[in-house]
Chains A and B, each alone.
Chain A
Amino acid sequence: MALSKEIYKEFEDIVGEPYLCADPAVMPAYHQTQFAAIILPKNTAEVQSIVRLCNKHKVAFRPVCTGWSGQFAANTLYIDLRRLNHIIEINEKNMYAVVEPYVITAQLQAELFKRGFHMNVKGAGANCTAMLRGHGHLDQTTSGDDRNHLAIEWVTPEGNLVQSGSLGSSDEWFCGDGPGPSLRSILTSAVPPGVTPGVFTKAAIKIYHWPGPTKFPIQGTSPDYTLSEIPPNFMARYYSFPSVEKMWQAEIALGENEICFELMGFNVSMVAANITTCNEEEERVFKQMEKDVIGPGFFVIIAGNSAADYTYKKKVLEQVVADADGQSLKYVEDPRIEGILICQCIRISASVRETFRAGGAFSSIPVMGQRDLTIRWAVGAGKAKLPLIEKGLIVDDGGGFFGWGVEQGHLGKTEIFCKFDPLNLKAKEAVEQWSLVQSQRAFEERYFANTMRPHSEIGPGMSNFHIWWKKVTQALDPNDVSPAAGALV
């Protein structure tokens, strides 16, 4: 046991015997790491006590929500936030929801639908914490990243409780910047480069108007769920275009007209992953769709607040697509497929199909920036995938990439990934090399800096931000107990 009996007892006294475990059988369930122990606090006060004890005994800790693949140093205390699973408040008047870390997006979103609201869902999916900061399919209408975080309750790496924004001066959660301390540059959640040390224990999240039903009319049994009817005033389509330039022309025009509820720059491989129920079917459908499209494209959902609003949006959509010589993918016009995609791409319930199902692992380069610029880079990164596809090292997605604008604008997310079998070491190596080369190209050709890479690689070219950030985290975490891996995963 990494912890002495005495220290173990001190942690046990905080959470109680059932919620602390250092048994070697439990560790591999979490990750292939020998943790000091796994601890499950039930509230903020317990989190504070745990963190203070970590400081007292110089035990490194990592807080984790639903989890994903992760890397952890040996002897880390793994703080499993599973028991912090309450929706504290849904404030309809001021349009925010306050949640604890283990409320998953699917739960909060379902509660919001009942009240005529929805939220930004991160691309990681409905199974992840609702509190996660990031981007997703719904960024057009629900923004993304820190724009959706309002006041936050944060346990610092030393165990102090900080309440940001309006919460710092009142009991209100409505604002992240005041009246009270605005810590927007520090409280960045798990998104590099500014990965906040400590633990987020509550956060207020912006909520948005939802023009859809209180519940999707799902029918069938898993994994063949469909909608019994397309919700009134909803439509989903996939459009392809003769060139990247034409696609971008349409994307920016749709943004200017502010008519899309969702515009997701899927490649057809991702559409195929969403609507199919197994790998073989996915491959077959992808091959078919690849023949049916005329070039790169995007997926669109329009949602009218009334029949007249819907008619207007549909008309504008069709005009913009026609102006850019776009073509609707017939496959998606089938109401069965359309229904699946409307539900799937609003609930974000099939991210796992898009990412892990095919090969078991994926490696991604995500970037926020000027869309037309990052798309240009992504085209090159996609071409660089083709030799790996030909060799059978990565899953064939046609060299595809994806992305979307945020708040109907030109700024947005672009991402590209390789899906592969993690047990195939040759594939793993090839993907790592691809990632390295494409990241270097992005940096050297001044497209962007891939912040998922070691910061020592990119920092010198970016005002040595990593040195400054390190100074900030050292000040916050003098005992070095909160490794640079984030307050939330």
Chain B
Amino acid sequence: MGLEQYKGDMAMCCRCSCCKFIPMQRVSGLQYSNVCPSIAKYEFHAYSGGGRMNIGTAMLNEGLEYTDKLVDIIYDCQVCGACGVSCNYAMDMEVQEPINEMRIKAVSDGHTRPALDKVIRGLRKEGSMVPVNGKRGAWASGLKLKDATKEKVDVVYHVGCLTSYDPKMHKLARATAKILQKAGIDFGVAGDNETCCGGRAYQMGYEKDFLKQAKKNMAMLQKAGAKTIVTSCADGYQAFKVLYDKHKLKGDLEVLHISEFIARLLRDGKLKLRKKVDLAVTYHDPCRLGRLGEPWIHWEGKKIPGDRFVFDPPKQYRRGSKGVYEPPRDVLKSIPGVRLTEMTRIKEYAWCCGAGGGVGESNPEFAKWTAQERIEEATSTGAEAIVTACPWCEKTFNEAIAEAGSSLKVYDIVELVENAL
């Protein structure tokens, strides 16, 4: 069905422009009221959620031809889901899904960006969304972790491409492993045999490649007999939790982000944080852990003919309200000495870090511009550090900070937890 199935939703767009701003009740001034990086940067309405709905309609009704501009519009978007949240405060319509489908259609029609094609070629060859740099499991050297591809384990820790192959990110994987060890969790990793979750390929519109990766991962997990998968990457979390489920591949696998797992361990008394970490922080909600981490809702039905846009059976919309917002905050509040101050745009209406949707790969300037705005917002809270829960956010923030010459520090939540153990 693809884009076609969202024809009715796209036609519902009333061009109110709410998709450009955080939900109206949350607007607390002129500053930090934008929610969509794409329209904020490129200005033309075509770059907004509403503009994309109208373009989607034109693609279906008028067979809109691909121009360079159309390709820019399609790919200069982090697919961060913020427009959908703001729209769905008031409207009953799908926004995020048609945007995903437009990308999938563009890829299927052969209109892609060379930088993204290159990444996907790497994925097909090496099973990674980032350039391969040594062995995938090298980060685990000396930790004596179980090999989930050979031993039965309760929990599999899926590390992810960036954390595995970027030596600067190895600290995140090692911290995660140490936390799990400290809590006595029976877990394993796939090490050199781990492969990409496919989530970022999906964001870029390469649905078939995503499905291949998803099937490989689920086969491995079934073989390992794992009931639970833990990720320390928000993209991985969304892939396993939401996208695998959407494509009916997840089964009854429990998917947890490490922040959820740590919050659970703290609650159950299996983990204690005793050391003081004297730091004023603010927390950045990664899009794919927050609003886009909301569980998938399986639904099939038809519009009831007549006046209202209602369905049989009733349709529930994923409005971003059920993302993972509290567990990371609970964890931060459990660390002695950490003082959390919130930014203006948080939780379901958080501003994106800039890295998603292939923007980091195909338009790094735009990614950096987006991160820059977040860094400025974080700095305005008086925090010494911005804490996130995804290596892609950390990478993009660090690049923006380096360029801006800011003194703000960036930490992943597992680093602070490790320091407090």
Contact = CB atoms under 8 A, between A and B. Distances in A.
Contacts of B58: 28, 32
A34 to B, nearest CB: 11
B307 A25 contact: no
Contacts of A389: 307
Contact of A28 (B14, B64, B91, B319): B64
A364 to B, nearest CB: 13
A394 B307 CA distance: 5
Nearest to B7: A423
Interface in A321-362: 343-344, 347-350, 352-353, 355-361
B69 A26 contact: yes
Contacts of B15: 31, 67-69
Nearest to B88: A223
Interface in A4-45: 18-19, 21, 23-26, 28-32, 38, 40
Interface in B1-53: 8, 11-12, 14-18, 20-21, 23-30, 33, 43-46, 48, 50-52
A19 B42 CA distance: 9
A357 B51 contact: no
Interface string A63-97: 00011110000000000101100010000000000
B180 interface: no
Which of B29, B54, B305, B314 gathers most chain A CB within 10 Å?
A: B29
B67 A222 contact: no
A348 B17 CA distance: 15
B308 A359 contact: yes
Question: How many interface residues does chain A have, given as a range?
Answer: 35 or more
A20 to B, nearest CB: 10
A357 B73 CA distance: 27
B16 A222 contact: no
Contact of B54 (A30, A215, A350): A30
Interface stretch (A100-108, A203-211, A403-411): A100-108
B55 A280 contact: no
A319 interface: no
Contact of B52 (A29, A106, A126, A394): A29
A393 B67 CA distance: 40
A457 interface: no
B67 A23 contact: yes
Given A107-B27, A423-B11, A392 B306 contact: yes
A397 to B, nearest CB: 10
B25 A347 contact: yes
A158 interface: no
A104 B16 contact: no
Given A223-B89, A421-B307, A68 B16 contact: yes
B45 A30 contact: yes
B4 to A, nearest CB: 15
B283 to A, nearest CB: 15
Contacts of B43: 18-19, 40, 80, 82-83
B245 interface: no
Contact of B307 (A218, A222, A393): A393
B33 A107 contact: yes
Contacts of A87: 30
B299 interface: no
Contact of B64 (A25, A69, A344): A25
A293 to B, nearest CB: 21
A387 to B, nearest CB: 13
Interface residues of B, number: 62
B278 interface: no
A280 to B, nearest CB: 5
Given A224-B321, A344-B25, A106 B64 contact: no
A80 B51 CA distance: 13
**Centre residue among A223, A225, A353, A394 by max chain B CB count within 10 A:** A223
A308 B2 CA distance: 61
A399 to B, nearest CB: 14
A103 B31 CA distance: 11
A300 to B, nearest CB: 20
Contact of B69 (A23, A107, A224, A356): A23
B383 interface: no
A357 B92 contact: yes
Contacts, number: 202
A51 to B, nearest CB: 20
A24 B314 CA distance: 37
Interface string B232-251: 00000000000000000000
A352 B14 contact: yes
A221 to B, nearest CB: 4
Interface string B386-406: 000000000000000000000
B307 A279 contact: no
A395 B46 contact: no
Contacts of B65: 24-25
Interface in A173-226: 215-216, 218, 221-225
A279 B58 CA distance: 26
A29 B30 contact: no
Contacts of B48: 29
A356 B86 CA distance: 15
B206 interface: no
Contacts of B17: 66-67, 104, 127
A358 B21 contact: no
B14 to A, nearest CB: 4
B85 interface: yes
Contacts of A32: 54, 58
A392 B310 CA distance: 13
Residue with the greatest number of chain A CB neighbours at <10 A, chosen from B67, B86, B308: B308
Nearest to B70: A25
A236 interface: no
A363 to B, nearest CB: 13
A357 B85 CA distance: 15
B44 A66 contact: no
Nearest to A87: B30
Given A38-B44, A344-B25, A392-B306, 9 more contacts: A21-B69, A25-B64, A30-B54, A66-B17, A110-B30, A222-B319, A223-B88, A356-B91, A360-B12
16 contacts: A25-B69, A26-B46, A28-B57, A28-B64, A40-B43, A67-B45, A83-B43, A106-B24, A110-B29, A127-B17, A222-B348, A277-B319, A352-B91, A357-B309, A393-B307, A423-B8
Interface of B: 8, 11-12, 14-18, 20-21, 23-30, 33, 43-46, 48, 50-52, 54-55, 57-58, 62, 64-70, 73, 85-86, 88-92, 305-310, 314, 317, 319-321, 325, 347-349
Query: When A and B form their complex, which 9 residue pairs have the shortest distance between CB atoms, in order from nearest?
Result: A29-B51, A29-B46, A25-B70, A28-B58, A349-B24, A352-B90, A23-B69, A106-B27, A66-B17
